[in-house]
Amino acid sequence: MDTGKFLATMGNMFIDGSAKLGKNCTIGQFVVIEKDAVIGDECTIGHNVVIRKGTVIGAGTRIDDNTVIGKEPLRSKRSIFKSDKTYEPAKIGTECLIGAQVTIYVGCEIANNVLIADGAAVREDVKVGEFTILGRSCTVENFTTIGKKCKLETNSYITAYSLIEDYCFIAPGVVTTNDNYLGRTEERFKHFKGVTIRKGGRIGGGAVILPGLEIGEDAVVAAGAVVTKDVPAKMIYIGMPAKEFRAVPKDQWLENQGWE
């Protein structure tokens, strides 16, 4: 184990003897690194960080104060999710930036060059693509996949069982949902489904998207809209309930941005 340089003495932290630390890592005070965790070269770990057993963190990644990586989920007796599942350890890619007071659960796969800002929460079985940004206090619930080069801004909420494809933009305060029965009747267990936002989809601030709906490729949902039906590709929807407004101008199409 090459622990590199430390900001604190070993007496102010716990590093399990089976953990592997790369070269030239900087480790803050009161850090806990559990059994079989692997941390790459040139990582920076802030104060009071907890890295749970088996977690893998790529080279050059920074993790700020009071963050937990690899947290096990809590399960109420009334939860629809089973509590006996065995999860794979969390995996964080290279050159990631993880803010303060972030919680990333077991079973997560975070690709290279991802930024997860302060206070965000990423639940179990979530995948996040490279160069994606999760803003301050953003919440991504379980069984969700987010593509590459997306931006989910402050206080956005992505419900469980959702799919967000590449190059999507989710503005502050967006709310997505997955339960049309609002917690009533056994029938709801057959119909849980999050939202699907296709490649290049954009959602304006404070919009609400109802369960199981699809936002088409390059479509736009305006700020404050309440989406009650699927939004076709390359169309703008506005209002409560959201209705077709007009087509997205061609100069705003993803294929015309030169990003790919």
Burial (CB < 10 A; 0-12, 13-18, 19+), residue 20, is middle
In tens, the pLDDT along 95-153 reads: 999 999 999 999 999 999 999 999 999 999 999 999 999 999 999 999 999 999 999 99
In tens, the pLDDT along 34-76 reads: 999 999 999 999 999 999 999 999 999 999 999 999 999 987 7
For the stretch 191-212, what's the b/e string if a residue is b when 16 or more beta carbons lie within 10 angstroms of its beta carbon? ebbbbbbbbbbbbbbbbbbbbb
pTM of the model: 0.92
DSSP codes, 201-255: -EE-TT-EE-TT-EEPTT-EE-TT-EE-S-B-TTEEEETTTTEEEEEPPGGGSGG
pLDDT of residue 9: 41
pLDDT of residue 10: 54
Task: For each of the domains in the chain, give its residue range(s) and CATH number, in order of start.
Answer: 1-72+88-140 (2.160.10.10)
pLDDT of residue 92: 98
Tell me the mean pLDDT in the region 173-198: 88
In tens, the pLDDT along 221-249 reads: 999 999 999 999 999 999 999 999 999 99
